């Protein structure tokens, strides 16, 4: 076998898992039917925050491990795509979050003067904000430096990968619904609008856990990402003009200058959701070790490094 490990999927979960394994000395090959720039990860807003992910306790630990890694990567933002950016999450307090929140440096209640009009309370934090196209490119380079490769191909079955390597890591996201098959996997449709930046320097979010219409403003090097939506079981990837108008209007209530910012792009991504993340080991016919690492919903970026480390441990067990 040319490779010790086949990682299926080239989104942020797959590439991060491949990097961790390759840097531990494994011969790693990533199989993906689409390049990283065409995955859901490339559309992600990129804010570190454990959003709509279960199990809560494990997700909090994975998120904190990722926070530590990303905080180091933020020293080289042009290379890694990671910056530490201050911002506000409105309408939540420490009691609304899991135990992980107490271990986030600098996370605190927002003062009255730090909240936009119409919001009664919230939290302030300086946390990672990732430019995802740049970060995915960084992961590709880091994987190559560790000896890993990426192959464009369509995987017919997990057993096919098991015949090519002794360990298979399934990071197929939404594709796991058919590949495993796992009917618990489903899309959560997210639509965003990218506009020119009129001077926004901080991120802002107001996203209830189960809301279909959410609000976030994320300043990126290429513009400001305005969101968004979280529609369960919706597969349509075509941006909806009326939804885009509503997104801009919601965000402009927080930053009025956004109402007149030039629109640069409309995008839709399908978050690969599941009732809980599947991160566990199994065996394929023929004896190959199978590691499932999928079902991260809207928090794949947030838990990417923590889940990659856990997957690597499972692969060695």
Residue 298 annotated as binding? yes
Residue 301 annotated as binding? yes
Residue 297 annotated as binding? yes
Residue 108 annotated as binding? no
Q: Where are the beta strands (DSSP E) in the chain?
A: 5-8, 28-32, 82-90, 108-109, 122-130, 149-152, 167-170, 186-195, 203-206, 213-220, 223-229, 231-232, 263-273, 278-283, 289-294
What lies within 8 Å, CB to CB, of 250 at 6+ separation is: 213, 215
Residue 271 annotated as binding? yes
Structure tokens, 48? 């570190």
Residue 81 annotated as binding? no
Residue 33 annotated as binding? no
CA gyration radius for the chain? 19
What lies within 8 Å, CB to CB, of 225 at 6+ separation is: 45, 46, 192, 193, 194, 216, 217, 218
What is the distance between the alpha carbons of residues 33 and 155, in angstroms, rounded to a whole number?
7
- For tokens 């968004």, name the residue: 228
Residue 205 annotated as binding? no
Q: How far is CA 127 from CA 47, 77, 209, 280, in A?
A: 8, 13, 19, 29
- Helix, strand and coil in the chain, % to nearest 5: 35, 30, 35
Residue 151 annotated as binding? no
The β-bridge relationship of strands 223-229 and 231-232 is unpaired
Cis peptide before 181 (omega within 30 of 0): yes
Residue 41 annotated as binding? yes
What is the distance between the alpha carbons of residues 116 and 44, in angstroms, rounded to a whole number?
25
Indicate the annotated binding residues for D-dopa.
Answer: 216, 271, 298
State the binding site for FAD: 40-41, 155, 172, 297-302
Annotated binding-site positions:
40-41, 155, 172, 216, 271, 297-302
């Amino acid at each position: 076998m040319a490779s010790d490990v086949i990682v299926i999927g080239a989104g942020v979960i797959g590439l991060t898992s491949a990097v961790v394994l390759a840097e531990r000395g494994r011969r790693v090959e990533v199989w993906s039917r689409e390049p990283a720039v065409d995955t859901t990860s490339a559309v992600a807003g990129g804010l570190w925050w454990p959003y709509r992910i279960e199990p809560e306790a494990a997700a909090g630990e994975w998120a904190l491990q990722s926070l530590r890694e990303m905080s180091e990567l933020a020293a080289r933002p042009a290379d890694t795509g990671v910056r530490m950016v201050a911002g506000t999450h409105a309408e939540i307090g420490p009691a609304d979050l899991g135990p992980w929140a107490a271990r986030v440096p600098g996370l605190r209640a927002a003062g009255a003067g730090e909240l936009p009009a119409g919001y009664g309370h919230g939290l302030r934090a300086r946390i990672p904000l990732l430019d995802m196209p740049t970060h995915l490119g960084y992961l590709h380079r880091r994987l190559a430096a560790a000896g890993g490769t990426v192959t464009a191909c369509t995987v017919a079955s997990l057993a096919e990968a098991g015949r090519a390597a002794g360990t298979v890591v399934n990071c197929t996201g939404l594709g796991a619904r058919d590949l495993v098959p796992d009917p618990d996997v489903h899309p959560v449709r997210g639509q965003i609008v990218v506009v020119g930046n009129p001077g926004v320097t901080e991120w802002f979010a107001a996203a209830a856990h189960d809301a279909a219409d959410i609000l976030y403003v994320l300043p990126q090097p290429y513009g400001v990402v305005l969101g968004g939506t979280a529609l369960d079981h919706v597969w349509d990837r075509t941006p909806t003009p009326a939804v885009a108008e509503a997104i801009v209007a919601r965000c402009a209530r927080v930053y009025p200058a956004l109402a007149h910012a030039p629109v640069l792009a409309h995008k839709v991504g399908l978050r690969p959701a599941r009732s809980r993340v599947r991160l566990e080991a199994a065996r394929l016919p023929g004896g190959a070790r199978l590691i499932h690492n999928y079902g991260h919903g809207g928090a794949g970026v947030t838990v990417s490094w923590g889940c990659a480390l856990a997957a690597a441990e499972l692969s060695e067990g």
